[in-house]
Structures are given as structure tokens and as C-alpha cells.
Amino acid sequence: MTTVEKSIVADITLAPEGHLKIDWVQAHMPVLNRIREQFEKEQPFKGLKVAISLHLEAKTAYLAKVVKAGGAEVTITGSNPLSTQDDVCAALVEDGITVFAKYNPSPEEYKELLIKALETKPDLIIDDGGDLVSILHSERKDLAVQVRGGAEETTTGILRLKAMEKEGKLEFPMVAVNDAFCKYLFDNRYGTGQSVWDGINRTTNLVVAGKTVVVVGYGWCGKGVAMRAKGLGANVIVTEIDAIKGVEAYMDGFAVMPMLEAAKLGDFFVTVTGNRDVIRGEHYKVMKDGAILSNAGHFDVEVNKPELEAMSSSKRTVRRNIEEYQLTDGRKVYILAEGRLVNLAAGDGHPAEIMDMTFALQAMSLKYVNDEYKKLGKTVVNVPYVLDEQVARFKLESLGTSIDSLTEEQKMYLDSWAEH
């Protein structure tokens, strides 16, 4: 690790490659480009400090540059030890952003880097999974006093925030970006659907057609992962704990069964529940020799690794991002990217056009919370519908398409209870 001015990055000489990556995504993020133009004129964050914790790859880097273009002093750190790209970090330092991040830090280093970002005493934060907020509400409450509010990226982070709000512990308003239509309908479904298979395919270099894929959890992400597995020619099984989602998966054409049955059949497993231990000891006992496990949920707790280790006689890395566990009965089970989000830890994350909408929401939500924080109170708030709709309109325009508007007669008809 090297310290460059205020930043801590792995290797500053990697910057040229990082700049190329950021330029590539910027060219594919037209919605965020429009917001950058607005921010450059309006300077909504002038004189403010913003700390960002997100999967630190090129799309995120461009978001950081957009927030800086809005007048902020920006500090950025990762949100997962394996999803930080060192060349992108180096480029951001050259672009005048303070970076505290590197690929694959130890758990202690990872946390130290998050704390360093918070020690800049930010006015606003962008969080992904709730790590920044959690530190600000536990061991480093002293750094929370000046925070006006922030925005949270993902399902798991929002669950954590809502638990804090319920206990009356939340100290500032947080916008639930994940719950906006332009986030989960596209990012969680199409983004995760495509990028999970990109990650699995580039890591394993194995065929998917004809194999059995078990998708654990049929939420917004799970629907995308299952849909794309079907498109690749797999036989797809869905496991769920929610009866409605179970029916939905069945009607979408997938086999639905408990994990204990699915475990016997799967060649590939993808967990995407936001829950812990969804694949565990009892399931490893019945798996086929050579089963490949991966996770797309936020934390690496969905596949229970300690139980697998306890059942194994040895473990070795057989290919970049593939660990082979040799079970004591002779079978082998593989885990991709140490059970961390496979699309980010073993890939480049969602496509740029998807993150264009998500990060446009992030940028607008940050401005919203800064404008309204005094009125919002210490709550988890939704992205206002008007912002959600604006992102969709910008997106349609960038696609060179448009939609119809209601006629006056139609408006009256829809508003009336007497007319039919």
C-alpha cells in the first residue's frame, strides 16, 4: 500500500488503466452525464464533504467524479474487500478525490480504511450495505455529529437501517435508494441477472446449457439470475421461504422445491437472499461431486464456509477465484470468490447502462437529503417519485424513445368515479 498525499491506494502507477476504464463507462452513462451538467452549474454540494463507500470500480468512480463536479470534497472507500479495483483507485487520486481503498485488504485493514474515510468528518454519506452507518452508530459516534444524512444503495443496508430506525437508534435521515423503481427493477433484476453469469462464466469457463442451476431466493436479484440461467440453457430450480415468491417462480416456469432436495440436483448454486446459512452442512452432505457454489447476496454469510471446512480434509485454490474443498468422503465442492458477491468479486459488476440509472438516483438522492435533511428527521426515507420518474424519462430520452401522455379526457376519466 502506498500513501499518496492524503490517500491510501495499492499502486498509483496503475492510474492510466483506471482512467481508460472510467472513460469507457462515462461514455455509456448518459443519464448521469446530464446530472453532472446540472451539478456543474448549480454546485449543490459546494463547501461540503461527502464520504462514499461503494464497490469501488469504474462506474462508482464516475459517480464520485459527478459528486465532486457538484462542488463536494469527496472521499471514497470500498464496500467489499474483493470488489475494489486498484487501477480505478489510482485514477481517482489523480482526479482529486481522496481514496482509502485497495483490493483484498485483511478484515482489520478493510475496517481501518472505512474509518479513515469517516475521519474526514463528512456532511453527507453514500453507503452500500450499511458499514459506514454502522460504524457511525457504534464505535465512532464522535464522527456522526456533523452528518446531515445520506443514501443507501442495497437491500441488505436498508434492512439494517430499518432495524436501527425501529429501535430509535438512527441519528440522521437515510434515503433508501434500493427501493426506488429505477433501482430494483433494473439494477437488482437485469444488472445482477447479467453480471452474475458474466462472473461465473469468466471464472469457471464451463458450459451452463443442460446443467442444473439452483437459485436460492426469488427476490428482485434472484428473478434476474434465474431468468438469465434459463436463457443460457440451464434447467433452473428455485428455492424460497416465501410462499408467494414460490408461486411466482413456479408460474415463471421454474421447478420449486426445498433446498435439501435441490442440493442433490444442482451443478451450479447461486445464493441471493440477504440471509445467512442458506446453504449449510446438511446440504453439503447430499451434493453432487463437483458442485459449484457462488453467492450474489451482499455479505459472504449465505454459503456457510466454516461448516464446509469442517467437513473437508483439504482446501486449495484451483483457479483464480475458485476454491476446491475436498470432502472427507472424497467428493469435491467448489466455492467461487470466497462466497463474496460473485459478480463484483469475480467480475466488473453490473453493466454501465444499468448503473447509469442507479447512480443517477444516488446523485439526486444525495442532493435531496442535503436540501431537506432538517425536515426529514432521523428516518429511512424513500426516493421521491418525481426523482424516480425523472431518471426513467432521462433514460428513455437517452435511448432515443418516448412514451405517450394522457389526453385531458383520459385524465378526467381516470380521476372520475361517476364516468364509465
Ligand X SMILES: NC(=O)c1ccc[n+]([C@@H]2O[C@H](COP(=O)([O-])OP(=O)(O)OC[C@H]3O[C@@H](n4cnc5c(N)ncnc54)[C@H](O)[C@@H]3O)[C@@H](O)[C@H]2O)c1
Instruction: Summarize the annotated binding site for substrate as residue ranges.
Output: 128, 153, 183, 187
Report the residue from 70, 217, 266, 339 that binds ligand X according to the rule CB under 6 A: 217
CB contact at 8 A, 264 and 286 = yes
CB contact at 8 A, 293 and 335 = yes
Closest distance between ligand X and the C-beta of residue 341, in Å?
4
Q: How is residue 394 written as a grid cell?
A: 432521462
Residues from 172 through 211 that contact ligand X (CB under 6 A) = 184, 188, 192
CB contact at 8 A, 155 and 274 = yes
Question: How far does Cα 283 stand from its chain's mean position?
Answer: 27
Residue nearest to ligand X (CB): 219
Asked if residue 155 binds ligand X (CB under 6 A), the reply is yes
Report the residue from 7, 60, 83, 156 that binds ligand X according to the rule CB under 6 A: 156
Closest distance between ligand X and the C-beta of residue 403, in Å?
26
Closest CA to 127 of 114, 146, 110: 114
Q: How is residue 137 written as a grid cell?
A: 452508530
Report the residue from 164, 272, 293, 345 that binds ligand X according to the rule CB under 6 A: 272
Closest distance between ligand X and the C-beta of residue 244, in Å?
9
Closest distance between ligand X and the C-beta of residue 401, in Å?
26
85: DSSP letter: -
Q: Output 78 or 222, the one with its CB closest to ligand X.
A: 222
Closest distance between ligand X and the C-beta of residue 251, in Å?
15
Query: Binding site, residues?
Result: 128, 153-156, 183, 187-188, 217-222, 240, 275, 296-298, 343
Report the residue from 60, 98, 212, 273 that binds ligand X according to the rule CB under 6 A: 273
Please name the residues in contact with 127: beta carbons below 8 A apart, sequence gap of 6 or more.
53, 79, 133, 150, 151, 152, 153, 157, 174
DSSP one-letter string for 297-313: SSSTTSB-HHHHHHTEE
Q: Output 192 or 370, the one with its CB closest to ligand X.
A: 192
User: CA 310 to CA 319: how far, in whole Å?
Assistant: 22
Residue length of the chain:
420
Closest distance between ligand X and the C-beta of residue 254, in Å?
13
256: DSSP letter: E
Candidates 274-282, 304-312, 320-328, 398-406; binding stretch for ligand X (CB under 6 A): 274-282
Closest distance between ligand X and the C-beta of residue 55, in Å?
8
CB contact at 8 A, 77 and 9 = no
Amino acid identity for residue 69 in this structure = A
Per-residue binder mask for ligand X (CB under 6 A), 276-305, x = binder: --x-----------------xxx-------
Closest CA to 304 of 280, 286, 324: 280
Asked if residue 242 binds ligand X (CB under 6 A), the reply is yes
Maximum C-alpha span of the chain: 74
User: CA 244 to CA 240: how far, in whole Å?
Assistant: 9
Asked if residue 219 binds ligand X (CB under 6 A), the reply is yes
Asked if residue 240 binds ligand X (CB under 6 A), the reply is yes
Q: What is the contact surface with ligand X in residues (CB under 6 A)?
A: 154-156, 184, 188, 192, 216-222, 239-242, 245, 272-275, 278, 296-298, 341, 343-344
